[in-house]
Amino acid sequence: MDSPSSEIKIISECFVKPKTKPEKWKEPYHLSLMGHFMLSLYYIQNGLLFLKPSNGAIKRRDFMETFLQKLKDSLAKALVHFYPLAGRLLSSKTDDATSYSVFVDCNNSSGARFIHAKTDLSVGDIVGSKYVPLVVQSFFDHHKAVSSDDHTMSLLSIKVTELMDGVFIGMSMNHAIGDGSSFWQFFNSLSEIFNSQEETTNNKLLRLKNLPIFREGSGPFCSFPFSQHDELIRRIEPPVWKERMFHFSYETVRYLKSKANQECGTTTISSFQSLIAFIWRSITKARKLLNDQETTCRLAAGNRSRMNPLLHMNTFGVYVSLVKTTAKTGNLLENEFGWAALKLHQAVIKHTGEKISSDMDRWLKSPSNLRFFDTNVVHIGSSPWFNKYGSEFGMGKAVAVRSGCGNKVDGKVSAYPGREGGGSIDLEVCLLPEFMEALESDQEFMSIVS
């Protein structure tokens, strides 16, 4: 699969600035408190795979030239609304040089990066493979880049890779600027502008359906007890893993929810909590841990609806933190499946605004993200509720969603909506090869995978 024929060739690259400069362009944009937490994590990398239009009247070369120019024009318009994405990170030291803070400088920036690449691969090479091909990582810019890396790097990069019969649009966003919710808000807004260009004049900006809301405030929101920004970075080089997409139909998800609630004598455990409990138990079983070893399940939970005061769901930035629950392996596997689902549900219930603030205060006293790479963890990222198939860019519904290598470790599970919708869910699972083989040999697990 990853032979010389799968080489990705860069055709062109440039930088795109906002079409017009917004009023706040000259002001520094300060990261949210949780944005600072993300500085030592990797860029968010997600993208959509499309089939090229099959209309024979449109020559493929002409299609790509028109498509690329239209997408760049759309990006310039989108950056007017999402102006911090066109900036660059800057750090400022305190007077005694014992700490520093990080902010976005929009005024001295060349803009967002835009890349056109080409490959001899086909759509079938990507979606027809049992495991996600390693070449997919090359569909994204800022490979293995940490969010607080070289402050000259663009905070947003879009890489359009032309396949023989398809197009992949891969977007990389600095995780300190936005979380998954903000990432997909921008992606969908970019598509909305692209699809509406015929309806607007060149000098008129489209009124977006979901305008981003930026937090009001001035001055640094926190500072780090370091003299240099790179002291926060902790690079972990993960071993080679296998990555596979597993599909769960709506009927399967509904069955797991019913089973979990029935076993616990309740009706409050959600469908997603039930599915995550199932994958937590399945991966733990595949790892063959000893009964007295601890295993942890972590969820990246949105905080906008939990903050006090509440934040609008269109608030742009990083408003996400970890919900986790831990159990002895013996207890997790010997108890009924509903036992694990209930533990997850209880952890979510306890994830209040007060707990979020307490966790962040504790982190600020000792800022480190090393625990993100703990062993024996199942980490659930992204969300099946994000509108990932809503971005069409004039090519119809995407064939598939895929992600880059950012923040992937053994046990990382990313949740996507199933392409057919209706409550179906796709899980992108990353495991060491021996654990993936054990998971695939688990008849209980494989029997409910579509």
d(CA 139, CA 6): 11
Element (H, E) at 113: strand 112-118
CB atoms within 10 A of CB 21: 15
Contacts of 243 (CB under 8 A, 6+ apart): 131, 132, 408, 428, 429, 430
d(CA 224, CA 139): 34
pLDDT at res. 94 = 63
**How does DSSP classify residue 372?**
G
Residue 63 · residue 90 · CB < 8 Å: no
**DSSP letters along 23-49, please?**
GGGGS-EEPPHHHHHGGGSBPEEEEEE
pLDDT at res. 148 = 76
Packing angle, helices 250-264 and 271-287, rounded to 10 = 90
Q: How far is CA 234 from the centre of its chain?
A: 20
Cα distances (angstroms) measured from residue 193 to each of 8, 190, 365:
28, 5, 43
CB contact burial 88-109 (16+ within 10 A = b; e otherwise):
bbebeeeeeeebbbbbbbbeeb
Give residue 362's identity as a one-letter amino acid code. R
Q: How far is CA 25 from the centre of its chain?
A: 26
Backbone φ and ψ for 256, nearest 5 degrees, come out as -65, -40
Q: Does residue 260 sit in helix, strand or coil?
A: helix
**DSSP letters along 153-176, please?**
S-SEEEEEEE-SSEEEEEEEE-TT
Q: Does residue 389 sit in helix, strand or coil?
A: coil
d(CA 296, CA 284): 9
Tell me the pLDDT of the chain (450 aa) as tens digits: 444 357 899 999 999 999 998 888 888 888 887 888 888 888 999 999 999 987 654 566 689 999 999 999 999 999 999 999 999 998 877 665 556 678 899 888 999 999 999 999 999 999 999 999 999 999 999 888 787 776 789 999 999 999 999 999 999 999 999 999 999 999 999 999 999 875 555 556 677 888 999 986 655 556 665 555 555 555 666 678 899 999 999 999 999 999 999 999 999 999 999 999 999 999 999 999 999 999 999 999 999 999 888 999 999 999 999 999 999 999 999 999 999 999 999 999 999 989 988 888 887 777 665 555 678 999 999 999 999 999 999 999 999 999 998 888 899 999 999 999 999 999 999 999 999 999 999 999 999 998
Q: Mark residue 219 as left, alpha or beta (left: phi above 0; alpha: psi -120 to 50; beta: remaining).
A: left
The structure tokens 């902010």 sit at: 103
Total length of the chain: 450
